[in-house]
């Protein structure tokens, strides 16, 4: 009787050891699901009841050794019946590492066409992640340009009896054109967009200059007044017109340089700078015709300058609308005519030469 009791007890201990080792072998197998492991455990328990060892399990006389950290890290975590997420902010992954993984996973690589549509700047590598951290300042600067030049173009064309060389909208030159374009240009600088930074800041300075020239307290045209008691007569002075024409001429030269650079971006941006080039050149001719006393020709040139400006702002409104649609991930996008592929980048040419010479 006692012999039978000892035999049964030993058999029970061996069975429990078998069950323990089988459980750990199942846990170490990455393909086993928790529900499957539960089924195996129940099956093994039933096998032990009948005093039989499961045919699919082999007895291992050694206990599991200390786990290898490299192997342990590759095993799934069945805590709460779900594997550990690589971005889990818990004890398995440090918080700073998880945040870095999330940032990397959320980084999006966009095409050169979309990049140039959004930033109006040829795509190039810059250090830092500011573009993924802060908003895009390009639409803000572009809006300052549009809300200043759009009414001025209509005034130059004399629509609905408008006139006065744009004096009526002088406030927009300061607080919309000058301020918004300069602010947007500075923010483009921090994002590493050199072309957009220079373009926006230079035109922001232009609107500040135009506003200051038309402001009486700056005495820009008052110095040319024939009547000291009426400084407004300076606006009709031939010397003032001839002098201010040079400023417009060199703004046209600047627009020509921007036009050449815009050939690396898109057709809409090219149309904007082409329109601005014609605006400044024709408006320079208008001021010089006024200085020469040819008021009829000067008026015609002024209307033509307003028409070219209107062409530029229509292209600007188009690309501004395209940028705003892209900013909210709208279901459809407006085409801007990407032409960056027509002119091979200088860095790419250098790489091709090095590849051929190697």
Q: How confident is the model at residue 115 (pLDDT cuts 50, 70, 90)?
A: low
Average model confidence (pLDDT) across the chain: 75
Burial of 293: CB neighbours in 10 Å, binned 0-12, 13-18, 19+: exposed
Q: How confident is the model over 106-113, as a mean pLDDT?
A: 48
- Of 116 and 339, the structure prediction assigns the larger pLDDT to 339
Most confident of 32-46, 55-69, 166-180, 217-231: 166-180
State residue 63's pLDDT score.
40
d(CA 14, CA 3): 17
Contact (CB, 8 A) for 116 and 175: no
Taking phi over 0 as left and psi of -120 to 50 as alpha, with beta for the rest, 317 belongs to: alpha
State residue 232's pLDDT score.
84
Q: How confident is the model at residue 126 (pLDDT cuts 50, 70, 90)?
A: low
Q: How confident is the model over 207-211, as a mean pLDDT?
A: 96
Total Cβ atoms within 10 A of residue 202: 16
State residue 303's pLDDT score.
96
Q: How confident is the model over 41-53, as a mean pLDDT?
A: 47
96-110, 142-156, 298-312, range with the lowest pLDDT: 96-110
Run of H or E residues at 71: helix 69-74
Q: How confident is the model over 95-111, as a mean pLDDT?
A: 43
State residue 77's pLDDT score.
47
- Which residues, other chains included, contact 271 with Cβ-Cβ below 8 Å and sequence gap of 6+? 311, 312, 315
Q: How confident is the model over 140-156, as a mean pLDDT?
A: 95
State residue 185's pLDDT score.
94
Question: In terms of pTM, does the model score above 0.75?
Answer: no
Q: How confident is the model at residue 59 (pLDDT cuts 50, 70, 90)?
A: very low
- Which residues, other chains included, contact 47 with Cβ-Cβ below 8 Å and sequence gap of 6+? 53, 54
State residue 151's pLDDT score.
96
State residue 8's pLDDT score.
46
State residue 342's pLDDT score.
81
Both tokens assigned to 116: 């140039």
Q: How confident is the model at residue 25 (pLDDT cuts 50, 70, 90)?
A: low
């Amino acid at each position: 009787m006692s012999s039978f009791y000892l035999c049964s007890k030993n058999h029970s201990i061996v069975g429990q050891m078998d069950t323990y080792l089988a459980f750990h072998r199942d846990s170490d197998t990455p393909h086993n699901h928790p529900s499957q492991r539960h089924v195996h455990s129940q099956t093994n328990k039933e096998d032990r009841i009948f005093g039989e060892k499961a045919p699919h399990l082999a007895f291992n006389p050694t206990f599991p050794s200390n786990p290898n950290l490299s192997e342990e890290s590759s095993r799934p975590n069945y805590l709460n019946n779900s594997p550990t997420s690589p971005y889990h902010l818990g004890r398995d992954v440090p918080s700073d590492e998880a945040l870095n993984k999330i940032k990397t996973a959320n980084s999006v690589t966009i095409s050169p066409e979309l990049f140039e549509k959004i930033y109006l700047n040829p795509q190039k590598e810059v250090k830092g992640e500011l573009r993924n951290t802060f908003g895009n300042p390009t639409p803000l600067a572009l809006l300052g340009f549009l809300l200043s030049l759009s009414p001025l173009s209509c005034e130059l064309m004399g629509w609905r009896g408008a006139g006065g060389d744009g004096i009526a909208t002088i406030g927009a030159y300061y607080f919309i054109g000058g301020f918004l374009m300069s602010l947007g240009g500075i923010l483009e600088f921090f994002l590493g967009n050199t072309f957009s930074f220079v373009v926006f800041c230079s035109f922001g300075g232009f609107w500040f200059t135009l506003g200051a020239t038309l402001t009486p307290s700056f005495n820009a045209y008052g110095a040319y007044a024939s009547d000291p008691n009426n400084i407004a007569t300076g606006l009709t002075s031939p010397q003032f017109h001839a002098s201010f024409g040079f400023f417009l001429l060199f703004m046209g030269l600047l627009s020509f340089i921007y036009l050449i650079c815009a050939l690396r971006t898109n057709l809409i941006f090219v149309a904007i700078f082409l329109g601005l080039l014609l605006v400044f050149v024709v408006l320079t001719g208008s001021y010089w015709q006024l200085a020469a006393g040819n008021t009829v020709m000067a008026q015609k040139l002024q209307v033509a300058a307003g028409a070219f400006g209107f062409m530029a702002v229509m292209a600007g409104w188009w690309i501004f609308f395209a940028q705003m649609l892209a900013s909210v991930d709208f279901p459809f996008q407006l085409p801007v005519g990407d032409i960056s592929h027509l002119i091979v980048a200088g860095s790419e040419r250098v790489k091709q030469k090095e590849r051929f010479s190697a």
